[in-house]
Amino acid sequence: MVTALGTDVREMSGTFAFPTRIEFGAGVVEKLPGLLAGIGVKHPLVVTDAGLVKVGLLGSITGPLDRAGMKWTLFDGVEPNPTEKSVFPGVDAYRAAGCDGIVAVGGGSAIDAAKAIRLKIHHPQPLEIFDDTQDGGRFVTANLPPMVAIATTSGTGSEVSRSTVIHLESNNRKTVIFSPYLIPTIAVADPALTAGLPPALTAYTGADALTHNVEAYLSKGFHPIADPLALRGVQLVGRYLRRAVRQGDDLEARAQMMIASMLGAIAFQKGLGATHSLAHPLSSICGLHHGLSNAIMLPHVLEFNKPHRTRRLADLAEALEASTLDAPTEEVARAGILALSTLLHDVGIPTRLSDVGVREEHVPKLVAQAVEDGCHQLNPRPCTAEDFERLYRAAL
Ligand SMILES: [Fe+2]
């Protein structure tokens, strides 16, 4: 039965869950020893990347552990866009040191690698078994060591998400593993840790948060809890990303972006869309930052999706404070896409793939991987290989 608002009541059914314990606020990282003790961890493996150690951020995490006299072991071998090489040596380090829990510190790469390390501790199967496109999440059990995830960027929201993305060499693509058990036991969201993030990385990671919220809101499926979270996430990015990029130590902007990032990750339990399917190969094949790839592709995908999600794009315009009262929905939807593009431009993100080293000859390979990627299954408009090719070429 379709109501006056255009909803088919038969589609109003679904299974909902909400994520994990979140410790939020500037300085909360100081509580880490107590948090670990509370979940029975005496000797964590601290998983991060060498870059984070180099910029001196690790001390903010290990300092409190040292002051509390807690033993810890460092694994800083996580690569950007992590592969098995970021996972197996971490599993070995965990076992060799006799660790009993994991502390992940970083952006999406470090937290995702840590989730895969955590999974491998008691799950001996090869990682490709867990591939979400093969419904591999059913092989993930609750038998995982406790984990605290500490975010140092506001982008992936991996600290509160139930997925990890690892580029597997066996299938040469970014592989998503998805299970409610993968949500970290505790997420630590301390905006002060993001204050030193350079403007470009702030913009790229912020664009990832924006894309999660936008794609979740437009994606197929019924999740009435995810929808308002996604709209609020878009609104926060619209209000605070420019400030966070312009002035890194603006803690209010940093805190709001961290909330937007978590809202995005919670909202995309509902699903993502074609932007992520186009973005994943740009990282795998051309080595682009994930957030940058999303940012360049997002306006093109929104144009592509517009005929199928006009009303929802108009809602996004409202969230971005770009809606004109009484204008036809179609016009408001267009204003929404323009507002998103303007925001991405204002924070200094390039608009063309050719500006960041992607060339014509990359397109066939990119298309082949985008088709294989699972995210577009929930895109509001079905995508063929020809569509992906058109979208990449439009962005070149
Ligand atoms: Fe993403």
pLDDT band of residue 280 (cuts 50, 70, 90) is very high
Task: Express each pLDDT in 371-394 by its tens digit.
Answer: 999 899 999 999 999 999 999 999
160 C-alpha to ligand 1 centroid (Å): 13
Ligand 1 centroid distance, CA of 282 (Å): 12
For 129-159, write each residue's pLDDT tens digit. Answer: 999 989 999 999 999 999 999 999 999 999 9
Q: How far is the CA of 318 from the centre of ligand 1 (A)?
A: 23
Per-residue pLDDT at 13: 57
* Distance, CA of 57 to chain centre: 21
294: three-class secondary structure by DSSP: helix
How far does the centroid of ligand 1 lie from the alpha carbon of residue 374, in Å? 13
Q: Tell me the average pLDDT of the chain.
A: 94
H-assigned helices in 1-74: 32-38, 50-54, 58-67
Contact partners, residue 351, CB within 8 Å, separation at least 6: 296, 341, 344, 345
Closest by CA position to 161, among listed 122, 202, 212:
212
pLDDT at 28: 93
Cα atoms in the Cβ-side hemisphere of radius 13 Å centred on 335: 19
Coil/strand/helix, residue 347:
coil
With 70 as the cut, is the pLDDT of residue 349 above it? yes
Phi and psi at residue 35, to the nearest 5°: -60, -45
- Could you give the count of Cα atoms lying within 13 Å of 392 in the half-sphere of its Cβ? 28
Centroid of ligand 1 to alpha carbon of 291 (angstroms): 7
Query: Using CA atoms, how far apart are residues 385 and 351, in angstroms rounded to an integer?
Result: 22
pLDDT recorded at residue 3: 60
Rg for the chain, CA atoms, rounded: 20
Q: How far is the CA of 69 from the centre of ligand 1 (A)?
A: 37
Distance 124 CA to ligand 1 centre (A): 27
Q: In angstroms, what is the span from residue 276 Cα to ligand 1's centroid?
A: 6
Distance from the CA of 258 to the center of ligand 1, in angstroms? 14
**CA nearest to 369, candidates 354, 389, 353, 350:** 389
Domain 199-395 CATH (choose: 2.40.340.10, 1.20.1090.10, 3.90.660.20, 3.20.190.10): 1.20.1090.10
Say how many Å lie between the CA of residue 68 and the centre of ligand 1: 35
The CATH architecture of the domain made up of 21-194 is: 3-Layer(aba) Sandwich (3.40)
Give me the pLDDT at residue 173, please. 81
Mean pLDDT (whole number) for 342-365: 97
Do 297 and 358 meet the contact criterion of CB atoms below 8 Å apart?
A: no
What's the average model confidence in pLDDT over 42-55?
95
Query: What is the spatial distance between Cα 112 and Cα 168, in angstroms, rounded to a whole number?
Result: 13
Distance from Cα 219 to the centre of ligand 1, integer Å: 14
> How many Å lie between the centroid of ligand 1 and the Cα of residue 12?
27
Distance, in Å, from the CA atom of 177 to the CA atom of 170, rounded to the nearest integer, reads 15
| 272, two tokens | 């993502």
Ligand 1 centre from 251 Cα, in Å?
23
- Residue 213 tokens, joined: 């919220």
* CA 208 to ligand 1 center in whole angstroms: 5
Determine phi and psi for 230, rounding to 5 degrees: -65, -45
Distance from Cα 4 to the centre of ligand 1, integer Å? 35
Cα-to-centroid distance, 207 and ligand 1 (Å): 9
At 113-131, the pLDDT tens digits run 999 999 999 999 999 999 9
Confidence of residue 36 (pLDDT cuts 50, 70, 90): very high
User: So what's the pLDDT on residue 240?
Assistant: 97
**CA of 209 relative to ligand 1 center, distance in Å:** 7
DSSP 361: G
Lowest mean pLDDT of 19-23, 215-219, 295-299, name the range.
Answer: 19-23
Answer yes or no: is pLDDT of 94 > 90: yes
- Measure 290 CA to ligand 1 centroid, in angstroms: 7
**pLDDT for 34:** 97
> Cα of 10 to ligand 1 centre, how many Å?
31
Cα–ligand 1 centroid distance for 65 (angstroms): 31
CA–CA gap between residue 94 and residue 101 (Å, rounded): 8
Query: What's the gap in Å between 202 CA and the centre of ligand 1?
Result: 14
Going by C-alpha positions, the residue among 199, 208, 191 that lies closest to residue 261 is 208
For residue 74, count other CB atoms closer than 10 A to its CB.
Answer: 17
Q: Is pLDDT of 17 > 50?
A: no
Domain boundaries, the chain: 21-194, 199-395
Residue 306 CA to residue 12 CA, distance in Å, equals 23
Q: Do 32 and 103 contact (CB within 8 A), yes or no?
A: yes
Ion ligand 1 contact residues with beta carbon within 5 A = 208
Rounded distance from Cα 188 to ligand 1 centre (Å): 19
CA 332–ligand 1 middle distance (angstroms) = 26
Query: Position of tokens 């312009």?
Result: 246
Q: How far is the CA of 150 from the centre of ligand 1 (A)?
A: 17
Q: Tell me the CA–centroid distance for residue 300 and ligand 1, in Å.
A: 16
Chain segment 300-320, per-residue pLDDT in tens:
999 999 999 999 999 999 999
**Whole-angstrom Cα distance, residue 211 to residue 260?**
11
The pLDDT confidence band at residue 8, using thresholds 50, 70 and 90, is low
Distances (CA, A) of 312 to 217, 219, 223, 307, 334: 7, 10, 14, 11, 11
Distance 210 CA to ligand 1 centre (A): 9
Q: What single-letter amino acid sits at 349? A: I
Contacts of 254 (CB under 8 A, 6+ apart): 154, 191, 192, 194, 195, 244, 248
Checking if the pLDDT of 18 tops 80, the result is: no
**Residue 19 vs residue 75, higher pLDDT:** 75
Can you tell me the mean pLDDT for 210-219?
Answer: 98
- How do residues 235-262 score in pLDDT, each as one tens digit? 999 999 999 999 999 999 999 999 999 9
Distance of CA 159 from the midpoint of ligand 1 (Å):
13
- Residue 2 predicted with pLDDT over 80: no
Residue 37's contacts (CB-CB under 8 Å, 6 or more residues apart) are none
For residue 126, the tally of other CB atoms under 10 A from its CB is 11
The pLDDT value recorded for residue 324 is 77
